[in-house]
Structure 1
Amino acid sequence: MKRSRRWLSLAGSRRLIVSLTLVWLMLMLGWLAARSDGVGGRPLVIVWGADPGSYDPQQTSNPVAQDVFRHVCQPLFYEDEGGAVRGLLAEDGFQYSDDGRRLSIQLRPDITFHDGAALTAEVVQSSFERLQRLSVSPLLADLRGVAVTAQPDGRTVLFDLPSPDFDFVRLVLANPYAAIVSPLTQETNGPGFVACTGPYQFAASLYRPGHSLTLVRFADYRWPPALFANRSAPRIA
């Protein structure tokens, strides 16, 4: 399908324009500058007041960046419309030790990143270790002293906490800033166009600093939140 792009001319204004070829979370985007109807139509255009400069969820604390990267990158869990914690990259449910200091989660199978890398327990471990090492994330204090360990089965991840914390999943693992980043792009610099697992991916070649950023549909996306009727790649353009 041929992709179309639309850019807004904003003389005398420094605004960032984000163009999505297809839209995923229409419910969460009440601040849309424009939209189109049907499949294969014109792109959605979103306007912000500034370009945050980095869109890597582990290298920014900028809320504008979060509004963009949450369409590209996903955490292990999310809160549904009723406030319940549900699995996104992880299976529903998780297990705490009796003392609340060890958390065990299980990853969903057959999830891949935009660059083709598979989601495994080892990848989750390296992603959290990178977040801790970079020392930029607003989650840094919550992850201080937390040890993340991949288990031999490739799908189980243990989180050893420095003190009991039964809200760790809701407050940390369901946070957009805890999104899992592909091991193949963890060394990225500049604007931080990492590969993740979300329904859209960064189009780095179309990025115009301070002016526009384009996200393109991830055609292989098959793991949306349970509340979505569409179980495959996004269909609205």
Structure 2
Amino acid sequence: MPDDASWLRDLLERRRPDPGPVSGRWALGVGDMIADHSLTPDKLSGLLRMLNHFGGVAISEDGVEFDGDEVRWADVEEIRTRSLIEYLFTGGVDKQIDKLPLPWFPFRRKVLGAVSRAALTLLLAAAKQQLEGGALEIRIPAEVRYDGLLFDRELAPGMLAAVVLADPAVRQCLESTARAHGVAVNPAADDVMADADERAEQIKSMLSAISARIHSPGDG
């Protein structure tokens, strides 16, 4: 696995939540990732962690947050999970980290490029392993359906949040916390990956496109 991804994988492993429903609040976001990167000056780490609300996941006793948008558990009606491969296949990587509306800071372009490549690399590696039968299916909480003011709404993770949710400890924490608040967690009924065998070539093509994006000179 390229060095770009190794530090992010290590960060995820170090910051995993405890098993079971969350106590208090747990969060991991783009600010943590930027602050942890070797390109970032130590004196900026504390300030950059304030950028977490631009991207990432937060789970608390009050609610769940994807990429800065929070929904209280009292308003959540259901959480629907999708295969990680399907999430990628249906455009889940469109919310690129380097396109987040982050303010300027030193080494911004280089650091965001590194974080973007790391996130895509981790997602790609997990999807390829799953596609080749080397891992159990990874299903992420992809749709948080909740009661809006006028109609039901849906909270969905961007690419960065999906990387965090692909970690088994984070998934287990979110789902356990949801169930502790009476929220059902179910597979999406219209999971397009039900016919994954028939779409294998399309999926492989999609993964190749993601791989090309990782190695694109414009990402640095």
TM range (shorter): under 0.3
Q: Under a length normalisation based on structure 2, what TM-score does the superposition of the two structures give?
A: 0.26
Q: Under a length normalisation based on structure 1, what TM-score does the superposition of the two structures give?
A: 0.25
Structure (1 or 2) with the greater helix fraction: 2
